[in-house]
Structure formats: C-alpha cells, structure tokens
C-alpha cells in the first residue's frame, strides 16, 4: 500500500545527491553531551577540567613545578567567563589557533605515554561550546620561555571545516600573575612567572556547590597532585544584592577571596617515558599497517625497532618461527605473509611491556593525601604491579580511610562508602554508575571484611575508597572522559587491590571489635564489683580492709585479663 502522505519515494540517485561529509566539529556540536556539555553545570566543570589538565600536563612535561589559577567570573544571567592561568612553558604562536580551535589536534594522541590529556578534543570543545551558547571567542595569552612578548589571540572554530578562524592576533606585554588572599580576604600578589598560558572562555553555565562541583574537582586534584599550588575563586561582575552577594550567591569581583591549595612538596612526579607498542597488543590489521609504514629496511629490524620488548635475537626467533626471511622487505610481508608473522609473534613468549611509561602516585603519597583530607582512624593504600590490557600497560592504586562512628561527621555509618575515582591523576566525578571502577568496588564481597553491603551494590560504612588508574591510554566510555570502560583486566586489577585493602581493614576492624567488646565487659564488671565484694564480705564475714583488698585484687585481675585479649 502506498503511504498516505505525498512524500516522494527516494531513488539511489536522489539519495546519492544528499550524501555529504560530516566534519568532526559538526558531529560533536550536535552530540555535545558526549563531550560533557549536557547541562550548564557540567559545561562549567568540563571546561575547568580540560584547561587544568592541559596546564598540568604542560608544566610536568617541561619539568616546571606547576602553579595554576582558576577564576570563574559571572558575566550575566547563566553566563560565566572561565579563565585558567598556568606557569607552564607557553605555546608557540603558530600552534595556538589549532590547539584551541580544532578538534582532534594535539601531541598526546599518537604516543604511548601516560598523560592527562589524550584525545586532542577537550579544550577546543569547550571553546566550541562557548561559541555556540554565547557567540564569543576563546581568548589565549601565552608567553614562551624564550619569547620577549606574549601573544594575545582570539579564535573561533569554523565548525563546517573544523579549522580555526583567528579574530585577533597581537603581541602584548604579559606575565602570568598568581594571587592569593590574606586572612582578611584582601587580595595579595603571590607570584609572577616569566612564562605561561592563560585561556579564557565565556559560556552559558551554572555554578553549583556540592559533590559534583568545580570546588570538589579542584580539591581532589590537589589531593593527587601534591606538587601543585592552586589558586581558585568564583566571583561576579554583576551588581551586589542586599545580602552582599550577586546572583547565585556569588560575591562581587572586588570582594571575592582567593582560595589557595598550597603544594605539599616540590617533587615533580617521575616523568613517564614514551614507549613503542607491545607486539602482543597489536592486531593483524595494525601489524600490516606498521610494516607498510616502517622506516626500517628489513623485517628483523622493523620488529626490533618499532615494537617494545623485541630484541634483535627475539626478532630473529619470530622470523624463523613464521618461516620468513629476516632480511625480507617489511612492505612485502605486509601484503603477503602477515598472517604467518602475526601467528608467530603471538606464539613467542615476550617480556611484558616496559612500565616506565607510567607514573603512579605511590602508596606513600596516597596515604599522605588521604590523611590530609579525611579525618579517620584507619588508613591503608596499595599500589599494584603494572598489568596490561589490549597491549596497553596500566597500573591500579587503591587507598582506604575508615572512620569509627563519631570521628568524621561527613562519614556516616549508614551511608554508602564515598568512592573517589581517578584516571591519570584526574578526578572523575560524573557517570560513576557506568565506570569499571565502581563495578569492581561493588563486586568485592565486603561482608568478608566486616562491612555490610546490599547485593551487587557499593558497601555501606564510614569509609572513603580512592581508586587510581594510571595508563598510557585510559579507555574512557565516552569522549567526556568520566568513566572507565569495562575491560576485564582492569576490573580484575582493581578488585585485587581492593581485596588487599579489605583484608587489612578486616584485621583492623576485628581487633577494634575485640577491644570494644573487652571494654564493655570490663565496664560491666567494674559496675558490679562493689556489690560482689559486699556479698563476699557478708558471706565470709570479712573486715572492711579485707573487702577493699578483695575489690582491688579483683580489679587487677580484670585489668590483666583485658590486656591479654
């Protein structure tokens, strides 16, 4: 039956005329929720996160101890201007437009090395969202170590082509300044750097305090980056209302004090090294591509130099096993004998990937961070040995802080434990339900360790659980980088680390329970001792002195028994 409406039937030819290329900017503009821009509140958070992640990566790569300032300035109804300044190495002028106004552009995607950023999307996406919601441009100030002046550039994205459109390009006299506030809330200059970068983006956003706020993100960032000094304030350009604050309770710019998280030490984390891909994580199709693209003349040298953990000798063994001439041209192998080679590689035992591409936080620093931030009675931390998923090295760390009832008002014995998730030292606040880390925590049998736990859910108790995944490539469930994908190897490693912490917790809890029990018994006895003595006195017809003596001897006995349990 033909449809009622007179909508014309398409033909192959009419459909062909409508086929078009979709630029990656257009795609993400329409799918902005994939990048973390699904609500005004999350937009603010995502922008701060992307800018701070970039600043930290840049400082660490340049071996600079980082100082970062974050200012969130209300500029109108539901509008904010977010500015993030760092003392990093700066960015050369030519790269600025593409770094800030082109999606899928960056230095971190094509290498295997742990870093916060990895996609080349984040900060450009924030700029694109600002442009979409307010029509504004991203403003960048940057001064490199060697430069005399700073560059001041304003860019937008041409979303049709995913290319930057430069609106302004000046040289200015600028040095990154960092402010802090004294006890009276007066702004005092903290530090001036010769080099660094400041990025400002105005967008539709909402500032909300609480568990999923920028405040919480920055606090957690300070916990896992003890070498960072961070200045932060939220202020308003709008007129003050009667209660002394602008709309949303945000104070006016002149009155808004800076909150400063001062660094704990000046030790930069061990700088991770770039590695080559491990042969066991390379699929057949990728192997073929690598052989086609190699600069090496022979199969043997390609195997040795393009992969990690393949010595010259190992390369020879692989060639022999595959029945291939080690001096063969790699391009030829790619087309004809790649399957044999692939099979031989996977049958050859190789060392696991090198792990100096990772820079874990370390048990000591995790404990220090937890002690600083969480009032508790019991702390423990575990850093697992590195493991591998799909050829990518990764490392799991877990910290636990347990507070007996009454010790920490924020930790309630009847609440679900507080889970803090981190990936490459970046706090993950949203989408906990979709994260492999949450899955692992829910999957551990916490009842074995003395906590109650609804079936298949997070355990209940006055406890904080911190989980950190460090990897050359964190497999996020979406481009907004809020949850780790469920690779079984990752869930397994997190589970092992949690179980180790759980066992230690259980030892503590049962010792503590015994103590409480003994204490209770002792109190009970002490209460009845005088009556017991009185009874004995009457039955045995003792003197008052004798009675006192008996009471004191009984008390001593009790004391000893208690100590021995």
Residues 48-77 binding a copy of itself (CB under 8 A) are: 58, 61-63
Measured from the CB atom, the residue of 69 and 156 that comes closer to a copy of itself is 156
Say if residues 392 and 112 touch (Cβ distance below 8 Å): yes
Q: Check residue 284 for interaction with a copy of itself (CB under 8 A).
A: yes
Q: What is the Cα–Cα distance from 537 to 23, expressed in whole angstroms?
A: 97
Contact between 539 and a copy of itself by CB under 8 A: the answer reads no
90 contacts a copy of itself (rule: CB under 8 A): yes
Tokens standing for 21?
A: 């290329």
Smaller CB separation from a copy of itself, 150 or 314:
150
Residues in 251-270 at the binding interface with a copy of itself, rule: CB under 8 A: 266-268, 270
Q: What would the two tokens of residue 149 be? A: 């002046």
**Close Cβ partners of 250 (under 8 Å, ≥ 6 residues apart):** 74, 207, 234, 235, 236, 256
Other Cβ atoms closer than 10 A to 180: 18
Of 479, 489, 547, 555, the one binding a copy of itself by CB under 8 A: 479
The rounded distance, in Å, linking the Cα atoms of 554 and 499 is 43
> Which residue lies nearer to a copy of itself by CB, 339 or 375?
339
Q: Which of 285, 323, 405, 530 binds a copy of itself (CB under 8 A)?
A: 285
Considering only residues 144-183, where is the footprint of a copy of itself by CB under 8 A?
144-146, 159
> Is there a contact between 74 and 248 (Cβ–Cβ < 8 Å)?
yes
**If you count them, how many residues does the chain have?**
565
Q: Token pair for residue 324?
A: 């291939």
Query: Which segments of 32-95 does DSSP mark as H helices, in order?
Result: 40-61
- 563 near a copy of itself, judged by CB under 8 A: no
Q: Is 442 in the site for a copy of itself (CB under 8 A)?
A: no
Shortest distance, position 301 Cβ to a copy of itself, whole Å: 22
| Alpha helices in 350-398, H assignment, sequence order | 363-373
Residues 482-521 that bind a copy of itself (CB under 8 A): 485-487
Smallest separation, CB 15 to a copy of itself (Å) = 6
Residues 316-375, interacting with a copy of itself (CB under 8 A):
338-339, 356
- By CB under 8 A, tell whether 527 contacts a copy of itself: no
Q: Judged by CB, which is closer to a copy of itself: 199, or 382?
A: 199
Residue 12 or 563: the one with the smaller Cβ distance to a copy of itself is 12
The C-alpha atoms of residue 548 and residue 525 are separated, in whole angstroms, by 16
465, 451 contact by CB (below 8 A) = no
DSSP secondary structure letter of residue 417:
P
Q: What is the nearest approach in angstroms of a copy of itself to the Cβ of residue 195? A: 8
How far the first Cα of the chain sits from its last, in Å, is: 87
Q: Which residues of 519-550 are buried (b: 16+ CB within 10 A; e: fewer)?
A: eeebeebeeebeeebeebbeeeebeeeebeeb
Among residues 316, 434, 460, 554, the one that binds a copy of itself under rule CB under 8 A = 434
Cβ distance 487 to 390 under 8 Å?
Answer: yes
Please say which residue, 38 or 373, places its beta carbon nearer to a copy of itself.
38
Binding residue for a copy of itself, selected from 149, 192, 286, 534, defined by CB under 8 A? 286
Name the residue nearer to a copy of itself (CB basis): 31 or 313. 31
Rounded least distance, CB 476 to a copy of itself, Å: 8
Q: How far is the C-alpha of 435 from the C-alpha of 428, rounded, in Å?
A: 10
- State in angstroms the smallest separation of the CB of 271 from a copy of itself: 4
The nearer residue to a copy of itself, 117 or 502, going by C-beta atoms, is: 117
Nearer to a copy of itself, 89 or 353 (CB): 89
Residue 271 makes contact with a copy of itself by CB under 8 A: yes
Does 416 interact with a copy of itself (rule: CB under 8 A)?
Answer: no
In sequence order, which residues have a C-beta less than 8 Å from that of residue 435 and are 6 or more positions away?
Answer: 421, 428, 477, 482, 483, 484
Among 38, 177, 248, 489, indicate the residue that binds a copy of itself (CB under 8 A).
Answer: 38
Size of the residue set binding a copy of itself (CB under 8 A): 88
User: Do the Cβ atoms of 495 and 465 come closer than 8 Å?
Assistant: no
For a copy of itself, the binding residue among 41, 75, 107, 321 (CB under 8 A) is 107
Phi-psi region of 185 (alpha: psi -120 to 50; beta: other; left: phi over 0): left
């Amino acid at each position: 039956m033909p449809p009622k409406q007179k909508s014309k039937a398409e033909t192959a030819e009419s459909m062909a005329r409508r086929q078009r290329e979709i630029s990656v900017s257009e795609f993400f503009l329409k799918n902005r929720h994939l990048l973390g821009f699904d609500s005004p509140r999350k937009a603010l958070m995502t922008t701060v996160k992307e800018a701070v992640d970039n600043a930290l990566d840049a400082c660490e790569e340049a071996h600079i101890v980082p100082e970062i300032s974050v200012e969130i300035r209300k500029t109108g109804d539901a509008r904010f201007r977010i500015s993030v300044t760092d003392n990093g190495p700066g960015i050369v002028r030519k790269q600025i437009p593409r770094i800030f106004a082109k999606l899928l552009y960056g230095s971190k995607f094509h290498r295997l090395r742990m870093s916060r950023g990895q996609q080349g999307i984040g900060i450009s996406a924030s700029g694109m969202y600002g442009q979409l919601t307010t029509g504004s441009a991203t403003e960048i100030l940057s001064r490199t170590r060697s430069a005399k002046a700073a560059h001041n550039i304003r860019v937008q994205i041409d979303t049709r082509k995913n290319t930057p459109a430069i609106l302004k390009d000046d040289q200015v006299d600028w040095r990154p300044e960092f402010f802090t506030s004294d006890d009276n809330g007066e702004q005092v200059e903290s530090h001036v750097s010769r080099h660094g970068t400041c990025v400002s983006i105005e967008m539709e956003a909402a500032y909300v305090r609480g568990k999923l706020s920028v405040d919480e993100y920055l606090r957690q960032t300070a916990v896992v980056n003890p070498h960072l000094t961070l200045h932060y304030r939220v202020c308003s350009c709008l007129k003050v209302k009667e209660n002394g604050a602008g709309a949303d309770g945000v104070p006016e710019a002149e009155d808004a004090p800076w909150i400063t998280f001062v660094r704990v030490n000046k030790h930069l984390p061990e700088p991770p090294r770039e590695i080559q891909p491990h042969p066991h994580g390379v699929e057949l199709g990728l192997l073929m591509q690598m052989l086609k693209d190699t600069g090496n003349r022979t199969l043997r040298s390609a195997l040795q130099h393009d992969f990690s953990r393949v010595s010259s000798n190992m390369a020879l063994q692989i060639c022999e096993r595959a029945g291939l001439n080690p001096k063969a041209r790699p391009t030829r192998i790619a087309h004809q004998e790649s399957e044999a080679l692939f099979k031989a590689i996977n049958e050859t035992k190789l060392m696991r990937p090198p792990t100096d591409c990772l820079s874990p936080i370390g048990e000591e620093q995790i404990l220090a961070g937890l002690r600083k931030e969480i009032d508790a009675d019991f702390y423990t931390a575990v850093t697992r040995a590195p493991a591998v998923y799909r050829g990518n090295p990764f490392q799991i760390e877990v910290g636990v802080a347990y507070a007996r009832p009454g010790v920490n008002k924020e930790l309630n014995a009847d609440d679900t434990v507080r889970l803090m998730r981190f990936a490459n030292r970046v706090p993950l606040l949203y989408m906990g339900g979709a994260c492999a880390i949450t899955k692992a925590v829910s999957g551990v049998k916490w009842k074995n360790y003395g906590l109650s736990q609804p079936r298949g859910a997070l355990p209940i108790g006055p406890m904080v659980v911190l989980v950190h995944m460090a990897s050359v490539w964190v497999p996020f469930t979406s481009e907004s980088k809020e949850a780790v994908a469920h690779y079984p190897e990752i869930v397994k490693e997190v589970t092992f680390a949690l179980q180790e912490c759980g066992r230690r917790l259980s030892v503590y809890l049962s010792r503590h329970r015994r103590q409480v029990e003994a204490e209770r018994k002792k109190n009970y006895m002490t209460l009845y001792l005088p009556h017991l003595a009185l009874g004995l006195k009457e039955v045995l017809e003792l003197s008052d002195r004798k009675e006192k003596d008996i009471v004191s001897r009984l008390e001593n006995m009790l004391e000893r028994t208690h100590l021995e349990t």
